[in-house]
């Protein structure tokens, strides 16, 4: 186990840091050696990537705050335009510099302004040449901003001529970032996924005060046994652990089992966790509903999940329109004459399709069809005569807003709009009943 060591920082701080970031010691020590001492210039930019909840954000934040390094932490999703992002960085810089000085509203529209204002802000902060860290979380959003933002951040040190390091955090690899005109290559670093052992260790660390660590760790063991197959997200697992812990403790509270009686406890909790996997984990029922159920001791079967309500009530002609759209989407045009023409001798063949055609067409997905064809099929599948009233046309539009149909290439209304049917066969079956 590598102990964190660095001459520039007090040993007590490092020890504390180590306890806060379990299973990420090697990454932290790597980062520390890159950062060097406070005044030393570091790399201009560092790119850290890793899967969801592999501790990127957490490690960076803990590292910077525990060692009290000057830093700015910005989430790029939250500040969705370049202007907001740049202004937010400046505001954070100003506000941490001095509390007495009222932060005047900053205006920063371009990077040029940003560099100028950044220099001012750094000068007013009296950092004594300490390295300033700018952490950009969810950095993949930067690609959607102006083209100059990402390259500029990568070489901000050079542009501003100040001791600054930009850290980019992202879930995707650097290769997907690289602009085609080329740019400064940052130092890339990978945070691997936590293994099951890591997860066990991290989750067991936060045991509730009223129970012993061993007891909680046994619980985590069972939890991971059930959920590890489907979910490796640390946050999610922690959430699930907290939700179901009360149920696990129940026999102990009632006095039916003691804390060491693992087998009994396992028998009690396992079916419960399985049920949780099908409901709460998928957000079929909400966590608060789940807790209430647990509290009342009711069966989860009583509460219907979100997917249980699939039935959609539609007006009479909307149903037929949707069925017609489905037929138009999945039947080839050449079969229309055979299926829908009345003078073909066999009228009863309307909704029937040959088996091999059906499977292949369903694998191909819906095909666009013109409005005329939809209406022609509608007239042929509805028994009585349908007048082309305004109401029929408005229903097509409302089906589009309900996302049951989708419009393809809405360039010209006169050109004959084309639609696609986006609902599944099961849905159509339910409607056609």
Partner 1 sequence: GCFVFKPSTKKRRLSEKADHDFRSRSNDSEDTELRFVTCQSLWNQIKSETEQIQEDLNKQLLDNLVSFLSRSHSKFQEKTTEWTCRMKFREIPTAALVLGVNITDHDLTFRSLSDVLQDNVTPYIALLEAKDCPGIKNLMQKLMGQLMNHDIDEDSLEDEDSVQVSHNRVRCSMSSLISWYESVTKKTDSETPSKKRNSSSRHWQSPPVVVIFKDMESFATKVLQDFIAISSQHIHELPLVLIFGIATSPMIIHRLLPHSVSSLLCIELFQSLSCKEHLSTIIDKLLLTSQFPFKLGGKVLQVLINIFLYHDFSVQNFIKGFQLCIVEHFYSQPLSVLCCQLVDVEKRVYSLSHDQCENIRRLPSFRRYVEKQESGKQIELLTNDSFLKEETEKLLKDLHDYHENYVSILRCLHVFTSSLPKYPLGKQIRELHCACLENRVWETEEYESSLQLARMLNKTDLVTMLQQCVEILMSSSGKGFDKTVQKLKEFLTQFQNLEEASQERDVSVSSQKELQKKTDLYHLQKTLLELKESRRSKKLTKFEMLRFEIVDYIDSLVRKYLVPADDRTLHEILYFNAATVLRGHLNAAPRTALHTALNNPHCYLKNQALKCDGGGISNKAPDICIVYKLHLECGRLINLVDWLEAFSTVVTAAEEPNADAASSDQVDDIIHARFIRAVSELELLGFIKPSKQKTDHVARLTWGGC
Binding site for partner 1 (CB under 8 A): 52, 75, 77-81, 84, 87-88, 105, 206, 208-210, 233, 235-236, 238-239, 241-243, 245-246, 282-283, 286-289, 304, 306-307, 309-318, 370-372, 375, 387-392, 394-395, 398, 401-404, 414-416
CA separation for the pair 262, 265 (Å, rounded) = 5
326, two tokens: 């489905």
**Rounded distance, CA 36 to CA 419, Å?**
61
Alpha-carbon dihedral angle through residues 329, 335, 337, 340, given to the nearest 10 degrees = -60
In 3D, which of 58, 364, 410, 416 has the Cα closest to residue 202?
58
Tokens of 426: 């099961």
CB of 158 to partner 1, least distance (A): 29
- Comparison of 128 and 413: residue with beta carbon closer to partner 1: 413
Contact 301, 293 (CB under 8 A): no
Taking the least distance from each CB to partner 1, the nearer of 331 and 422 is: 422
Question: Checking DSSP bridges between strand 132-137 and strand 164-170, what pairing results, if any?
Answer: parallel
- Our CB check for partner 1 shows the closer of 125 and 207 to be 207
| Closest distance to partner 1 from the beta carbon of 32 (Å) | 27
Q: Which is nearer to partner 1, 34 or 407 (CB)?
A: 407
Instruction: State how far the alpha carbon of 382 is from the alpha carbons of 86, 120, 358, 389, in Å.
Output: 60, 74, 22, 15
Helix (H, G, I), strand (E, B) or coil at 72: strand
CA 26 vs CA 22, 86, 288: distances in Å:
10, 32, 38
Q: Which is nearer to partner 1, 32 or 405 (CB)?
A: 405
Which is closer to partner 1, CB of 311 or CB of 354?
311
């Amino acid at each position: 186990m590598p102990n964190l060591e660095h001459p520039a920082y007090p040993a007590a701080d490092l020890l504390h840091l180590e306890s806060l970031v379990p299973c990420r010691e090697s990454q932290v020590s790597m980062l520390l050696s890159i950062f060097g001492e406070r005044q030393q210039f570091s790399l201009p930019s560092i790119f850290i990537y890793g899967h969801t909840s592999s501790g990127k954000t957490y490690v960076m934040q803990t590292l910077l705050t525990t060692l009290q390094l000057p830093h700015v932490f910005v989430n790029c999703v939250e500040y969705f335009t370049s202007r907001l992002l740049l202004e937010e960085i400046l505001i954070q810089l100003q506000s941490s510099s001095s509390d007495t000085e009222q932060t005047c509203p900053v205006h920063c529209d371009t990077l040029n302004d940003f560099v100028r204002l950044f220099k001012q802000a750094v000068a007013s902060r009296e950092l004594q040449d300490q390295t300033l860290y700018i952490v950009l979380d969810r950095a993949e959003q930067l690609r959607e901003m102006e083209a100059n933002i990402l390259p500029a951040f990568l070489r901000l040190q050079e542009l501003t001529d100040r001791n600054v390091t930009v850290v980019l955090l992202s879930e995707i690899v650097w290769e997907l970032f690289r602009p085609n005109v080329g740019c400064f290559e940052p130092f890339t670093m990978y945070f691997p996924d936590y293994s099951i052992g890591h997860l066990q260790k991290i989750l067991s660390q936060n045991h509730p005060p009223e129970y012993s660590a061993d007891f909680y760790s046994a619980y985590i063991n069972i939890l991971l046994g059930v959920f590890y197959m489907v979910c490796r997200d640390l946050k999610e697992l922690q959430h699930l652990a907290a939700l179901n812990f009360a149920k696990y403790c129940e026999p102990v509270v009632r006095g039916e089992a003691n804390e060491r009686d693992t087998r009994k406890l396992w028998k009690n909790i396992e079916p419960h966790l399985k049920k949780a996997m099908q409901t709460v984990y998928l957000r079929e029922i909400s966590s608060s509903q789940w807790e209430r159920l647990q509290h009342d001791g009711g069966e989860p079967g009583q509460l219907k999940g979100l997917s249980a309500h699939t039935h959609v009530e539609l007006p009479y002609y909307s149903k037929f329109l949707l069925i017609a759209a489905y037929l138009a989407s999945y039947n080839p045009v050449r079969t229309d004459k055979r299926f829908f023409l009345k003078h073909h001798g066999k009228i009863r063949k309307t909704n029937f399709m040959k088996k091999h055609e059906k499977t292949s067409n369903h694998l191909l997905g819906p095909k666009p069809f013109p409005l005329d064809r939809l209406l022609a099929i509608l007239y042929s599948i509805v028994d009585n005569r349908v007048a082309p009233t305004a109401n029929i046309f408005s229903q097509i539009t409302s089906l589009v807003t309900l996302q049951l149909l989708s419009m393809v290439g809405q360039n010209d209304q006169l050109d004959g709009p084309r639609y696609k049917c986006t609902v599944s066969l099961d849905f159509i079956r339910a409607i056609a009943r």
